[in-house]
Structure 1
């Protein structure tokens, strides 16, 4: 294995692994309040484009990193959407007041 490929694989592992704590935290706590849907939507699309690019140029570190990152980023995005849609709406005292 070439040294540049090894460096690429190490970098890919480190940057990809950075998403794992976020996925675990969402699964454990169910809290997605601090997650930006816009950021994760754009990021997930961007990662999918990097994956396509990596496939075209046949760059193994790029393919592996972006495939795994795509799975993790899509998990954060999907869990965030799911949790926000599932979140019950808050009832205020105005909602409970009789109609005048």
Structure 2
């Protein structure tokens, strides 16, 4: 039963990242994420992943591998310079450029 609870917790907390990652990919911007949060969260998830491996807990290990991958995507978008404010405005008709 305890493995089921751990698995359910891991699935729910990991899957909760998917909508945010999707939104970030779609907008090509992670500008609203603080750099400190990205670094601390990614580092923390990495250590949870290592911990799960060493205590031989599949739910902890797998959930944190997936979360780490989500954080890698968010980090890449955040630090690669792909921000919406640098992209051309699709709705700009040229008016007001003068």
**TM-score normalized by structure 2?**
0.79
Q: What is the Cα-based RMSD across aligned positions, in Å?
A: 1.8
Higher helix share: 1
Greater C-alpha radius of gyration: 1
Task: State which of 26, 29, 32 in structure 2 corresponds to 1:31.
Answer: 29
Contact 1:30 1:83 (C-alpha < 8 Å) held by counterparts: no
| Gapped regions of structure 1 (runs ≥ 5) | 89-100
**TM-score normalized by structure 1?**
0.77
**Size of the alignment, in residue pairs?**
86
Cα displacement string for residues 78-99 of structure 1 (whole angstroms, at most 9, x for unaligned residues)? 11111358964xxxxxxxxxxx
| Gapped regions of structure 2 (runs ≥ 5) | 87-98
The 10-residue stretch of structure 1 (29-38 or 53-62) with the greater mean CA deviation from structure 2: 29-38
